[in-house]
Amino acid sequence: MVQQAQFLSRLMIITIIMLSCNSNQAIHVPPIYVERIDSSLLQHEGVLYYKHQPYSGLIYELYVNGDTSKITPYVHGKEEGWSRAYYQNMQLAEERFYVHGKKDGIHKGWWQNGKMKFEYHFLNDEHNGELKEWFRTGRLSRVFHYNKGYEDGSQKMWWENGDIRANYVVKNGERFGLIGQKLCKNILKDTLQ
């Protein structure tokens, strides 16, 4: 009983921090908590139902030891506001923002060592703007640019040792430059010669 009270206390503190730090969230998420593994939850056609009703509240996930691994707010069965995932030491692993179930704004993730893992920009559930990913060491692994879900402009990728893997530009849907794909041998062509 004491352990459950401590868990609920920690969960409330995390929720208060999540909701108070969120100036983007205009819709109120009721302080109702349901664990992701609850058998009364059902996902159907992009809507989360709880006891046959579109769910409004917070869905939480736990590690085996009882620590919170993820909290996601829902309104009318759709993700709404900041969803946050944590490492077992309660360090923030990622944060993502949703509007009516669609990814929006800047989504960030961190490696367990605290270094950036990714930073994605979304608009209406599509990549829009700059996308960055890093290796665990902190070295960039890729920087891509998107416009309404499509690659647009400069695209760069690196190997973990820092060597360039791909460096190309996308203009009007066409790629120009070093794509970074392996050259494959055409066995059928070689047999016909």
Q: Tell me: the pLDDT tens digits for 77-125?
A: 999 999 999 999 999 999 999 999 999 999 999 999 999 999 999 999 9
Q: According to the model, what pLDDT value does residue 179 have?
A: 82
Phi, psi of 64 (to 5 degrees): -55, -35
Q: Are 125 and 103 in contact (CB under 8 A)?
A: yes
Which residues, including other chains, have CB under 8 Å from residue 104's CB and lie 6 or more apart? 97, 98, 122, 123, 124, 125
Q: According to the model, what pLDDT value does residue 192 have?
A: 55
Instruction: Give the span between the Cα atoms of 8 and 33, in whole angstroms.
Output: 9
Q: Other CB atoms closer than 10 Å to residue 30's CB: what's the count?
A: 12
Find the mean pLDDT for residues 31-43. 96
Task: Indicate the pLDDT class of residue 27, thresholds 50, 70 and 90.
Answer: confident
Q: Are 97 and 81 in contact (CB under 8 A)?
A: yes
For the chain, the first-to-last Cα distance in angstroms comes to: 77
pTM of the model: 0.77
Helix (H, G, I), strand (E, B) or coil at 177: strand
Q: According to the model, what pLDDT value does residue 187 have?
A: 52
25: which 2 tokens? 């969230």
Full set of structural domains in the chain with CATH: 1-102 (no CATH), 104-193 (2.20.110)
Please identify which residue in the block is written with the tokens 């309660």: 90
